[in-house]
Amino acid sequence: MSAIKTFHRKTKKGSVVKVVREHYLREDIHCGRESCADCQPFKQSSDSPFAPKAYLSDSPRVGVSAVTPLAHYVVPDFGVVYSQLDVIIDPYFGCDIILMQTVWDEIKRNITVFSQIKQVMAEKRFYVFLNEYNKNTFSERVFGESIAEYKQRLVVSAAEWLQSHLKDIQLVLIVNSNEMKLKSESIQCFPIDKYVKSLKDCVNLVDKLADMSTTGEYAKDIKLIFDEHLGLDAIQSGIKSGTKYFQGKYYTNRLNYLEGFVMISRNGEELNVLIQGSLHINRAISDDIVAIELLPESEWTSKSDVVLEVNEDLEDNGDNREDREESVIFKKEDTSTKTPMGRVVGIIRRNWRQYCGVLRKRNENMNTSSMSNRHLFVPLDRKIPFIRIETRQYEHLKEQRIVVAIDSWPRDSKYPKGHYVRCVGAAGTKETETEVILLENDIPHMEFSNDVMKCLPKEGREWRLSEEDLVNRTDLRGEAICSVDPPGCTDIDDALHCKDIGNGLFEIGVHIADVSHFIKPKTALDREAADRGTSVYLVRQRIDMIPTLLSSDLCSLREDVDRLTFSVIWTLDANTAEIKTTKFMKSVIRSRASLTYGEAQNRIDSPHMNDDVTRGLRGLLQISKILNRKRIEGGALVLASANEIKFVEMDSETHENPNPEDQIPEKSEKVLKIEAKQIYETNSMIEEFMLLANISVAKRIYEEFPSLSLLRRHPTPSSSNFEDLMGCAKSKGYNMDTSSGKSLSDSLNKAIDPDNPFMNLMFRMVTTRCMTQALYFCSGSLADETENFGHYGLATPIYTHFTSPIRRYADLMVHRLLSHVIEYEAIDASLLNQKKMHELCEQINFRNKMARQASRSSNELHSHLLIKDHTSSGKPLEEEGYIIYVKKNALQIFIPRLALELSYFLDPKEDWIYNEFELTQQYLPLKYTLKLFDKLKVRLSVNENALSLRSKLVIELIEPFCVQKQPKEKSNKKLKKV
């Protein structure tokens, strides 16, 4: 028996086609109950993807629910699965759930819901009942019935048939509360909240219920705050027109949650559009893909110059106050520098995830009876608005870090509505906070799975290279190779040698751990490494990309052991460092010495040392100085970022990535202290050769794979990016020429103030912030090689990553490409796919960004713990800092020793006079003017009462003058914070 399904579809070309599908009905579809006598059992085999994983129990859910104490199966309808997913998949909600095919097909349309359900189905007894292919439960749609009604009817009639089929087991249909009541006699039907509340010990589950009371229909008397979002079709056609709407990702300003920007392209030109004020933001949340419309030019203003914080500590009693402040913040002022402004007209795709944070502390004086379960959730990510949730566990959760998901943001609500998902742990402890950092940055940090571990060499630590491994490898075990790394480094992925081969030539070799020998494509290990993308370095903790056996042992080029490597060997002119020849080879080395930067420096400087290794080091240093000079002359920038100052240089090798763990300061749990790290010439020596190797490899693979090379580029920042820098420089009387990397580098070198040695560093820090991010990319996915491939910071036309395969997946890919190029090992054909390569690059870029953020957060966290220690010991920390930005209502202060940047709010406002041209703030009571880059001394302490991490710090200015605060001001609206 069959039926016909037809529908119309619009093709991309714009024509309309009628699609006709035959629909066959069967009688042999199993009902799902394990011991059902009437149904033909499925073969339960693991290799058939269609067979169900498990049958439903014969005595399901007995006595779990107060409303239906007898055995019953739960049948959720689509609305419930979609909106209450966290409840359905909760282990406590239990098994024996029947998903109707009608519901299942709807679920498939939403990839996030679908993948979560799939995951849970592997562990829980879910049964998908194919009601639409079952002759007994299928019926055709009748005229005048809406699709939603039809689907509802299919689910109900299938449930009714199953009920008559199962007889003694009750079927319980679960619907969303606001849906219509069913008129079915034979089956029971409950709204989800009623059913969940009837379960035993349901408190945890009840909190996970999403609030579905608003459905897009608003009563007339409700005051709507936001404009309606446009429908997707209207948006798409508006975007197609090219002038009406624009699509882009919305980013919230980190310092001001009422302001954000969207990068759009208009007429092929990249344009950064400012979105200001909550009404224009119109419920967009950072990272959403939105459609915006440009405001008329007459309404364009400049970026607001304030740092805005909401009081996170107490439940606010009225919302009016903020509205008023909003208008103050954005009042029109100087209109000389106008930025394009826009407003959000619709959301194309929400990018909501689950957020970590805390509950806002409840005002004890408030009448708690009326809204006792409603709470405001304060996400740690300042770009995310507060979320309104309901929980009955406030007493339990108030000191905890919890995870919350957003359900909806109705037009009449100031905050999005969400529900509680889970609890991470007690706030303020190192473990919880670190976990939160990992969660917030989406970093995979689970132990490696068994499948992955099985891919490692069976011998484990006893692995030795065999004869087979030596085939086609150059034996370099006789060379005087050594590695130079930061102290305590265990994942040594590079080693070098240098020897004088006469005629004024040096032979210099860079040897990189051959990780691709151990990680073969298409293995579980490879997939896991590709997913992780990079190792993540937190304070005193490293999250490896590959298992420790490889990272710290088999691939680590330690001294006096034979290791497999991938070598680049040049012959260079000893005086000009000009490259004569370049060779790439797979090799075997035995490192003579694993040195630290300090040790290497000592060897070079010591007149008594004259062994091969030392002589090699001296040669390397000599060449590296020439290389460095040439590079700087070529326009390479010497930049600085917060982290680098603290630990001298985060990545001693390439200036780009977070450092290996050893550069992390000594901060133990109890006694926290920070050690400054020394810079040696050897640091930049290693860096020069790594850069040289990367560039050589990039050229070579690009020759062979013009459209499939994995390269790294650093786009030239647009001139608008440099506005901050120009402003700073102008106020200090310097001129920054940002027209090219070379001129910028020269300008930076000239910007020196003998009275303030930190100023040059500050300029470099500000410059760093003006930069765009360096990115991995697939050479075939960018059209114009001369324009796009360049690395701005390093001033080289082509660049890639080759030198750290232990901690970066990109390097591993480059190794594979290069192996193919030198005809050592043919590359797996599945990797030679431009689309896949492009996706891989996107993935690594994402992970990289997250890893950077996590490292930064981890630093911040440990700085906080340090300050907390000092506060509790009664000696608040006093630190020297520098003003790196002057804002209208705040000073951004950078503390070099802690690598910490703080916002110091100027409070009360009346005491300060802001000069936006000279970037100064004058303190009226003392007639003292603070200027950009001025040195200050601040006292840092922790306010134990504040809940959220970011509002904990209290900053007091103690030098050059003290500012006395009335405590009253503090509790009002703005709080000193980080």
Given 1, 2, 6, 369, the residue binding another protein (CB under 8 A): 6
Residue (8 or 670) nearer to another protein, CB? 8
Q: Cβ of residue 19: shortest distance to another protein, in angstroms? A: 9
Q: Would you call 22 helix, strand, or coil by DSSP?
A: strand
Q: Are residues 418 and 390 in contact, defined by beta-carbon separation less than 8 angstroms? A: no
Say how far residue 459 (Cα) sits from the centre of its chain: 36
The residues pairing with 4 across neighbouring beta strands, listed in sequence order, are 22
- Is the backbone of residue 460 left (phi > 0), alpha (psi -120 to 50) or beta? left
Residue (147 or 328) nearer to another protein, CB? 147
Q: Cβ of residue 307: shortest distance to another protein, in angstroms? A: 37
What are the structure tokens assigned to 303, written together? 């970026």
Cα separation, 407 vs 425, whole angstroms: 23
Residue (23 or 835) nearer to another protein, CB? 23
φ, ψ of residue 12 to 5 degrees: the values are -65, -30
Residue (144 or 296) nearer to another protein, CB? 144
Cα separation, 921 vs 67, whole angstroms: 67
Helix/strand/coil percent split, the chain, to 5:
30, 25, 45
DSSP 574-614: TTT--EEEEEEEEEEEEBSEEEEHHHHHHHHH-TT--SHHH
Residue (147 or 671) nearer to another protein, CB? 147
Residues in the chain: 978
Q: Cβ of residue 147: shortest distance to another protein, in angstroms? A: 6
Q: Cβ of residue 173: shortest distance to another protein, in angstroms? A: 25
Q: Cβ of residue 794: shortest distance to another protein, in angstroms? A: 46
| Stretch of residues binding another protein (CB under 8 A), selected from 2-10, 31-39, 537-545, 806-814 | 2-10
Residue (9 or 324) nearer to another protein, CB? 9
Residue (149 or 475) nearer to another protein, CB? 149
Q: Say how many C-beta atoms besides its own lie within 10 A of residue 450's C-beta.
A: 8
Residues 790-820 as b or e (16 or more Cβ within 10 Å = b): bbbbbbbebbbbbbbbbbbbbbbbbbbbbbb
Q: Are residues 650 and 622 in contact, defined by beta-carbon separation less than 8 angstroms? A: no
| Stretch of residues binding another protein (CB under 8 A), selected from 7-15, 180-188, 395-403, 800-808 | 7-15
Q: Which of 476, 278, 252 lies closest to 384 in space, CA to CA?
A: 252
Q: Cβ of residue 1: shortest distance to another protein, in angstroms? A: 16
Q: Are residues 793 and 922 in contact, defined by beta-carbon separation less than 8 angstroms? A: no
Q: Cβ of residue 20: shortest distance to another protein, in angstroms? A: 5
Q: Cβ of residue 247: shortest distance to another protein, in angstroms? A: 15
| Stretch of residues binding another protein (CB under 8 A), selected from 6-14, 42-50, 783-791, 868-876 | 6-14
Q: Cβ of residue 238: shortest distance to another protein, in angstroms? A: 6
What is the footprint of another protein within residues 8-37 (CB under 8 A)?
8-10, 14-16, 18, 20
Check residue 7 for interaction with another protein (CB under 8 A): yes
Residue (21 or 332) nearer to another protein, CB? 21
Residue (50 or 143) nearer to another protein, CB? 143
| Stretch of residues binding another protein (CB under 8 A), selected from 3-11, 618-626, 792-800, 843-851 | 3-11
Amino acid, single-letter form, for residue 40: Q
What is the footprint of another protein within residues 707-766 (CB under 8 A)?
none
Residue (14 or 733) nearer to another protein, CB? 14
Q: Which of 44, 826, 184 lies closest to 472 in space, CA to CA?
A: 826
Helices (H), 318-429: 320-329, 394-397
Residue (144 or 754) nearer to another protein, CB? 144
How many residues touch another protein under the rule CB under 8 A: the total is 27
Q: Cβ of residue 916: shortest distance to another protein, in angstroms? A: 39
Residue (147 or 180) nearer to another protein, CB? 147
φ, ψ of residue 970 to 5 degrees: the values are -65, -45
Cα separation, 525 vs 449, whole angstroms: 9
Residue (23 or 464) nearer to another protein, CB? 23
Q: Cβ of residue 354: shortest distance to another protein, in angstroms? A: 33
State the SS3 of 756-804.
CCHHHHHHHHHHHHHCCCCEEEEHHHCCCHHHHCCECCCCECCCCCCCC
Cα angle 308-310-314, degrees, rounded to a multiple of 5 = 160
DSSP 143-167: TT--HHHHHHHHHHHHHHHHHHHH-
Query: Regarding beta strands 579-590 and 474-475, do their DSSP bridges make them parallel or antiparallel, or are they unpaired?
Result: parallel
Residue (234 or 832) nearer to another protein, CB? 234
What are the structure tokens assigned to 659, written together? 């450092």
Residue (20 or 783) nearer to another protein, CB? 20
Residue (228 or 703) nearer to another protein, CB? 228
Q: Cβ of residue 131: shortest distance to another protein, in angstroms? A: 20
- Cis peptide preceding 908, ω within 30 of 0: yes
Given 1, 2, 4, 37, the residue binding another protein (CB under 8 A): 4
Q: At what angle do helices 681-704 and 612-633 cross, to 10 degrees?
A: 70
DSSP 416-453: -EEEEEEEEEETT-HHHHHHHHHHHTT---SPPPHHHH
- Cis peptide preceding 658, ω within 30 of 0: no
Q: Cβ of residue 138: shortest distance to another protein, in angstroms? A: 16
Residue (22 or 467) nearer to another protein, CB? 22
Q: Cβ of residue 236: shortest distance to another protein, in angstroms? A: 8
Query: Regarding beta strands 170-175 and 246-253, do their DSSP bridges make them parallel or antiparallel, or are they unpaired?
Result: unpaired
Q: Cβ of residue 8: shortest distance to another protein, in angstroms? A: 4
Q: Cβ of residue 14: shortest distance to another protein, in angstroms? A: 6
Residue (20 or 111) nearer to another protein, CB? 20
Q: Cβ of residue 642: shortest distance to another protein, in angstroms? A: 45
Q: Which residue has the tokens 């055995």?
A: 71
What is the footprint of another protein within residues 132-171 (CB under 8 A)?
141, 143-147
φ, ψ of residue 425 to 5 degrees: the values are 160, 180
φ, ψ of residue 933 to 5 degrees: the values are 70, 10
What is the footprint of another protein within residues 203-262 (CB under 8 A)?
230-231, 233-234, 236-238, 240-241, 244
Q: Say how many C-beta atoms besides its own lie within 10 A of residue 229's C-beta.
A: 20
Q: Cβ of residue 112: shortest distance to another protein, in angstroms? A: 23
Query: Regarding beta strands 593-596 and 482-485, do their DSSP bridges make them parallel or antiparallel, or are they unpaired?
Result: parallel
Binding site for another protein (CB under 8 A): 4, 6-10, 14-16, 18, 20, 141, 143-147, 230-231, 233-234, 236-238, 240-241, 244
